[in-house]
Structure 1
């Protein structure tokens, strides 16, 4: 597993790529729109490619860090045609956020090619990605996961192996509906408080020292207090996508999803208003305007 290829060098993928190459791995990446600036990676020795299939044909591990299920499917079996190009024995690592049922269907096709697919969804932010301190939520065959562990440890601080293929993506959707749903709830109540003239310093202090304390509040509080969204550079439209993925998964499983529906509806209303590119903490201001 000496040649590592990446598709998706965006906000999260850039940090993954940088840590892979600085920790001694040979890195190749697809040069495409949507990447962060990659001059630093090239300076470090990474090789850019303009054709995904040609790059996939030379790699031992292909890492995908794209937006979601449609993009993963397109890269592997659509216009990217990377699955057909993979050599037997190669491993696909999908760090995207995706629908587990699609992941499992793709894994079957990958196995027919004589390769393996491991889902390794990410949590945390671009800051931790650059620092090599991501959380990875992993699903796959145990032997393959252990084979990959040294590579994953190049850019992850914590690795949670959730089970077989698709389990990593399932855990990511569970994580995101809880974390992003909590952010949305905090933003909604903050908008209510601000609209009524409450002292927001007192409100944040009260929440921190009570049952609402935690990572979600810590990432939204800077925006409540000083309109700083730097601690959660995650867009409303991406959160809306993730909520939709969770609800699709819950529907497929016959599980209750009343709370998740409410989160998706709130985010969807903001997307429909043209606010999808705003970061999640900005809901504090956006929800002061009634939909």
Structure 2
């Protein structure tokens, strides 16, 4: 008999569990803001989902519980609620982007109670916030194009793999048999590539504008040489999306959290002196927060770099 699944938190990957996971039971949905679960359920169909009021209501009848939450504190609070139930024989899968030490601590806490645990972030060109140890943007999550990363005991990871390639993601990077925190370690390091890329793109466009080459010419080069995330971020910058968007695709606070985790890892690993690019990107993220607050997005770094060179934060009137 197929297991009962639950999804706690953000919903894009949960959507793919329903649409592509061949589930024979309704997916149990819980979100702290119940209206978000109800909205997702209305799109997927009431026969394929069941919205519940509490985390406990999601965990108690479930065999596998996926969660995707915003930060370490939210994940820890959710797991504490889960452990109010008997989790023996249950598998908890964390898709959140948290510090690897948090992931390893969760693995220990849950397995000591007789449960199983897998860290499963996603890894891919990031243009938005499904904020999961998976790499990808919201649109990529919707289309099942994320790259999943699984770590934990092999037996536990084997239970999750059927829901990765072809369901929630396009492929899976398998770290089974390794500490669950290796998945989030991979995710945090991977996100430094995104943060540094956005700074590099911003600098290039500012130089192109101030030198007279023109940003359109540089964008042509970028889209030819670096199709994919470079091109997508370049387009968002030049279109002014980085300050016009009311709801950020990747909230600036989440980006700052990822940068803090990466710098913490660098310091504890003795690599802090080699992370100068990340330090620069981190400072620029902080300036985005000061400039436009909660509307800040990762590509909003472009506005900060513009101001560093004497240009207006906004590239359009």
Q: Which category describes the TM-score, using the shorter chain as reference length? A: 0.7 to 0.9
The alignment partner of 1:287 has SS state of helix
2:300 counterpart of 1:282: yes
Q: Aligned to 1:250, which of 266, 276, 289?
A: 266
1:161 to partner: Cα distance: 1.6
Partner of 1:120: 120
**1 CA distance for matches of 2:234 and 2:277?**
23
Change (3 A) 1:240 1:260: same
Q: 1:216 to 1:24 in 2, by over 3 A?
A: closer
Please say if residues 5 and 62 of structure 2, whose CA atoms lie closer than 8 Å, have aligned partners that are also in contact: yes
Q: TM-score, normalised by structure 2?
A: 0.81
**Residues 286 and 255 of structure 1: CA distance in aligned 2, closer, same or farther (over 3 Å):** closer
Partner of residue 193, structure 1: 208
Structure 2, unpaired ranges of 5+: 122-133
Identify the residue that residue 127 of structure 2 maps to in structure 1: none
Q: Distance in 1 between matches of 2:4 and 2:62?
A: 5
Quote the RMSD (CA, aligned, Å).
Answer: 2.4
Cross-structure match for 1:235: 251
1:36-69 deviation per Cα after TM superposition (whole angstroms, max 9, x unaligned): 7322134352111111112211111111111121
In structure 2, distance between residues paired with 1:279 and 1:110: 34
Contact 1:118 1:165 survives alignment (8 Å): yes
The answer for the alignment partner of 2:109 in structure 1 is: 109
1:241-281 residue CA offsets vs partner (Å, 9 max, x unmatched): 11111111222222233322221111112113333433322
Q: What's 2:124 paired with?
A: none
State whether structure 2 residue 239 is matched by structure 1 residue 226: yes
What CA distance in whole angstroms lies between the structure 2 residues aligned with 1:237 and 1:56?
A: 29
The list of structure 1 runs, each at least 4 consecutive aligned residues, that deviate by more than 6 angstroms after superposition, is none
After TM superposition, give the deviation of residue 139 of structure 1 in Å: 1.3
Cα offset, 1:116, TM superposition: 1.2
Give the match for residue 97 of structure 1.
97
- Match of residue 157 from structure 1: 170
SS at match of 1:164: coil
Q: Distance in 1 between matches of 2:197 and 2:159?
A: 36
Query: Which residue of structure 2 aligns with residue 142 of structure 1?
Result: 154
275-284 or 101-110, which deviates more = 275-284
Q: Given the alignment, which residue of 287, 290, 300 partners 1:269?
A: 287
User: Structure 1, residues 101-149: CA drift from partner, whole Å, max 9, x if none?
Assistant: 1111111110111111111101111112111221112211122111221
Instruction: Give SS of 2:170's match.
Output: strand
**Residue from 13, 16, 19 that aligns with 2:13:** 16
Shift of residue 193, structure 1, vs aligned partner: 3.3
Q: Is this contact kept in 2: 1:124–1:134, CA < 8 A?
A: yes
Which has the higher mean CA deviation after the structures are superposed, 274-283 or 114-123?
274-283
1 CA distance for matches of 2:270 and 2:282?
18
- More displaced 10-residue stretch of structure 1: 160-169 or 64-73: 160-169
CA 1:280–1:195 in 2, change beyond 3 Å: closer, same or farther?
farther
Provide the TM-score with structure 1 as the length reference. 0.87
